[in-house]
Amino acid sequence: MMAKGRIITIIALCVVGFYSVLADNPCLQGPPVPKNAAECCVTPFLVEPSAFMTCHSKWIGQTKRQMALEGIPRGCCVAECVMNSTKLYSDGKIDREALTKLYLGSTKTMASEWKQITLDAIDGCFKMADSMKDDIEAGAKLTPAFEGEQICHPISGTILACMGMTLFAECPAKLFTVNDDCNKLKTYHSKCPFS
């Protein structure tokens, strides 16, 4: 539970940039309640927490530094590292078929509803990334803003953040913990990434 909650949180750190370019950002204040999303609904996942934490420790320092930068949103190296660890990323592209297999694999021990929800989420997220192609490409072409900055391709962070938000939003009612805090969190995350 703890670990999964952290995963969601950290992936979101990487995409906050997409929202801060909007003038009227409804997400700046952060979540309305101090509750972990995983306490409200456990969603399908791409990699085990340990694989995630390896990438997190390696890249979070850089990611935090990048968050202070303005301009075109930068790619998230934590997310790219996660994609690399499963060999899903290469040359600006995510292997959609392999990603689908991994997400579906995680649903095997979960409620059967998750399968179709996950397939639909993947479809929606790849369409969304496609519609943002120009911004994503621009982010990939950035040059280092500080010494040692590694430029990662924004596609990984875009897909992972979208999957996190979508799966949480689509959590079947019977699997969602109904209480005031969880309901508020659901409304918030319907438009804001995990952060």
Ligand X SMILES: *[C@@H]1O[C@H](CO)[C@@H](O)[C@H](O)[C@H]1NC(C)=O
What residues make contact with ligand X under the rule CB under 6 A?
Answer: 77, 80-81, 84, 89-90, 152
Q: Which is nearer to ligand X, 20 or 84 (CB)?
A: 84
CB 144 within 8 A of CB 63: no
Q: Which is nearer to ligand X, 155 or 171 (CB)?
A: 155
Q: Which is nearer to ligand X, 93 or 108 (CB)?
A: 93
Q: Which is nearer to ligand X, 81 or 162 (CB)?
A: 81
CB of 80 to ligand X, least distance (A): 4
CB of 170 to ligand X, least distance (A): 29
Q: Which long-range contacts (CB under 8 A, 24 or more apart) does 49-56 make?
A: 49/3, 49/4, 49/6, 49/7, 51/82, 51/85, 51/86, 52/3, 52/7, 52/10, 52/82, 53/3, 54/81, 54/85, 55/81, 55/82, 55/85, 56/10
CB of 125 to ligand X, least distance (A): 20
Q: Which residue, judged by CB position, is nearest to ligand X in the bound state?
A: 84
State which amino acid sits at residue 38: A
